[in-house]
Structure 1
Amino acid sequence: MKLFSAIISTAFSQSCTGSESFDDAVTTCSPNQMTIEIPACAFANARMDAAGAYLAGVDFGELVADVENNCTGTFDAGSDNWVFTLSNDISECGSLVENNGTFVTYSNAVQSTVGTENKIITRKRDMKVGFSCAFPLEVTLSAANAINPVLTHFELDLGSEEGVFDVQMGLYSDASFATVVDSTFTVNIPDDLHVAIGITDETDMVTVLETCWATPDSDPANPTQYTFLENKCGSHDEVNVYQSLDVQANGLDRISTFSIESFNFQGEEGGDIFLHCDVQICDPNQESCVPDCSSVGARKRRSASSDEHVLVVLGPIFVGGPK
């Protein structure tokens, strides 16, 4: 027993209190990544081998590395956590994928088995810590419906604040952002599209628009896309060449807003567009959340370093041809 404890103690620097458990694990979801962080002390307290743990689905299975992910964890000395991450193809490593028509949910589990056995007795012990991420499906509504402001539900744990929040993206009638438009709203090039993205709950957290882009359908990965906000600032062309984008608020409050002149994709004279934004959730009491966009294209002050992201979508918005 002492030998086991000595081996485990070399894996991390933190002194365990004995109260740490797998219930202290934190899950983070972002558009192309899902991560679970488990305290090293939780493994030590349970006498489980963290280095031998892996992802293989919600049920016990064998470790099989995939193309994008090796399905094993890495130790973060800064936090004394073991970090298990699925990136790009989060369906790998045996993830269970469920689609209920509204959300698509990816579920997996960190698992490990330690101990020995013989024909008569066993000292084998199993460990499994499940986690999941749910993402809203982006469905095109018929013309009879209102413009679809998808409400994105996510769990937040930044250390300073945790809970369940909703983020919504809406289209408004003007730059006062007082009235949300419905399906009767019409816009023709170059009428402005006034968009607000915000946390619907009361909170000290603020939204930071990391990247915003448009597509001709609800698929955010459609190869036909136009990015008009990147690196937390309006794109160079939109701000300096066309002068067609005004970001009124970003990183200032729980609601961020922008106005952009409407457009069609090449080859269309009137048609639907969908707007997508990758939004960071930032704690202004812990870090700088307001991006420095004084010189688009120049090196910007590091801000909003939180790993909490949520992808929001708005559409379909019918844009008619030029007036």
Structure 2
Amino acid sequence: NITFKDGQIVLVVARDATMPRISLDSIHMLENDPSGHCASVGSTASFAIYQFTVGSCGTRMKEESGFVIYENMMSSVYEVGIGPITWINYEGQLKFQCRYSGSAVEALVVEVNTVPPPPPVSQNGPLRVELRLANGQCTTKGCSDEAMHTSYYSEADYPVTKVLREPVYVEVQILERTDPNLILVLDHCWATSNPEPMSLPQWELLLNGCPYKDDHHLTTMLAVGHLGLQYPSHYKRFVVKMFTFVDQSSLVPLQKRIFIHCTMSVCHPSTTESCEPSCGNRTSEYTY
């Protein structure tokens, strides 16, 4: 029995295939490999199995009448019994071959296993971001927050005057980056009464990307739409109700400016990292 699979010849020899019987221990091919690759890969008292490539053990290839032929020669000793204590062995040879049509059309099943894209190449470098206030005008009743981000205050407009509880629309964006897979993540945003970020007093706006829960007028995260933005994931927007700091002893409002600060990071989403903050019951308020 001869089979041909994946460039391998598999030959199964039965001891009783011929009369007289074949001596399985004496079988060898046209050429024997010193490393033992042409020896049997398995045997019993009745069978021996050989497996080797079509280019080894003396196997030859030829073309004949439109067929591709791989052939080899197996040599072995035949056992011939003469008497109760005397045995005579004769050597015999058997040619075997596999024939294939050189022009046949065969069905081929191909299974393509897709692999995930390679991780992005990362290296240290500057990251420029910008925080600015929107000053779009809402001219119709019930207009969307998106309309407020149609224009922004310039540097010459600051300081901007707001009354208490008036919405302050804040936008943070990544600058000079063109990777659409990058996502801007706001980690921590807070307000102070002077430009120094670590100065006191302070008031929390966002903690771990979520609105500060001890504020009676919670900061609200806004969805960033695709309208007019090439890379929407490079932006984050939120609304703060205008407030003022008070003197801790007299509780008198301080006539000081409010400065907004944020720490942020850039995230690349993957199967294990969604880049979205976990904000408990308020998760539905976030759209990225």
- Shorter-chain TM-score bucket reads 0.3 to 0.5
Q: TM (normalized to structure 2)?
A: 0.42
Q: Which has the higher contact order (CA 8 A, sep 6+)?
A: 1
Structure with larger Rg: 2
Q: TM (normalized to structure 1)?
A: 0.38
